[in-house]
Amino acid sequence: MKVPVFIIDSFTDEPFSGNPAAVCLLATQGDTKALTDEDLQRIGGEMNLSETAFISCDGESSDFRLKSHFGLRWFTPTVEVNLCGHATLAAAATLFYVKGNQSETISFQTRSGILKVKNKGDQLSMDFPLNPSQKQERDIVKDLLKVVVEETDIQDVEYSPNTRKLILRLRDTLPRSYLEKLRPQISMMEKNEPSGQIKGVIVTLKGSESNGCVDKSGKQYDFVSRYFAPWVGIPEDPVTGAAHTVLASYWSKELSKKNLYARQCSSRGGDIIIQVDNDRVHLAGSATVVMCGTLDI
């Protein structure tokens, strides 16, 4: 069986930055039966990127150019996940930019329900569920905190039950360079939090000109972040759409803003434009195709 595969750098307009995802095209829904879940997981491990996305056509036809509704699943190198923003962006970029899909908006049937992506030319805008967070008692996660960041540098701790992500907000007086130089003890994070209640840790900082949170043109970011998820086989994710469904809710409340501009400060890095709309959030970004090929299975 030959499976078309692509590598897309998400949330960037430059190759070799942003967050890379592999995207595989499965000709029809029947191909998802020909390839077992174990097969899909093995492909995810073989690609060895934070996520590999599998797109399947809805119905018998395999016309990726004309259809507007598809199935979508995401696999890390070790597990299937319920939501992945950058791989959804990569999947849409594959359909719009590689296959030349003619739709203005395409929708994906996923574990998280129907997700829509709109083609805005140089950017793609994803319509995702907003995932609120709530205050988290530090004592409950104290063992985890001590291997991520100095507790005295933490201003706020919140938890998103929908996504099982923990938010650690740094003190506003800290510079962006502090976040970028942060080196959590990745190997200890799983050991210090084995309950399964947490699947990822977001470390975030309020943006300002004084702390260096500006883009290349000098425009200020509303907030910046990094994301660590060793529980699902991702020590650090370069740019994480799913994390921003949580961050959008948190920072929208903190800053009393619906429109936000953010950067994930990994070594690759990427920019995200955010619009909060009631219980939904629109995450927009660029995507760059860096590889086209075929898997022989």
Average pLDDT value over all residues in the chain: 94
Q: Residue 35: pLDDT band by 50, 70, 90 thresholds? A: confident
149 and 247, same domain (yes or no):
yes
Give a yes or no: residue 126 inside a domain.
Answer: no
Percent of the chain topping pLDDT 70:
96
**Which residues are designated catalytic?**
51
Q: For residue 54, is pLDDT > 70? A: yes
State residue 29's pLDDT score.
Answer: 45
Q: Is residue 125 part of a domain?
A: no
Token output for 56 = 């399947």
Segment 127-153, tens digit of pLDDT: 999 999 999 999 999 999 999 999 999
Instruction: Answer yes or no: do 86 and 113 share one domain.
Output: yes
Q: Is residue 161 domain-shared with residue 111, that is, in the same domain?
A: no
pLDDT bin (cut points 50, 70, 90) of residue 156 is: very high
Q: Residue 170 pLDDT > 70, yes or no? A: yes
Calculate the alpha carbon distances from 71 to 64, 95, 262, 283 in Å: 12, 12, 29, 20
At 264-289, the pLDDT tens digits run 999 999 999 999 999 999 999 999 99
pLDDT exceeds cutoff 70 at 31: no
Mean per-residue pLDDT for 201-219?
A: 96
Alpha-helix runs per DSSP H in 24-173:
31-34, 37-47, 85-93, 142-145
Residue 296 has pLDDT above 50, yes or no: yes
**φ/ψ (deg, to 5) at 113:** 90, -160
In this structure, what CATH number is given to the domain that contains residue 147? 3.10.310.10
Give the largest CA-CA distance in the chain.
58
**Could you give the number of structural domains in the chain?**
2
Radius of gyration of the chain (CA): 19
Same-domain pairing of 138 and 217: yes
Q: Identify the domain containing residue 106 by its residue range.
A: 2-120+285-296
Are 110 and 243 in the same domain? no
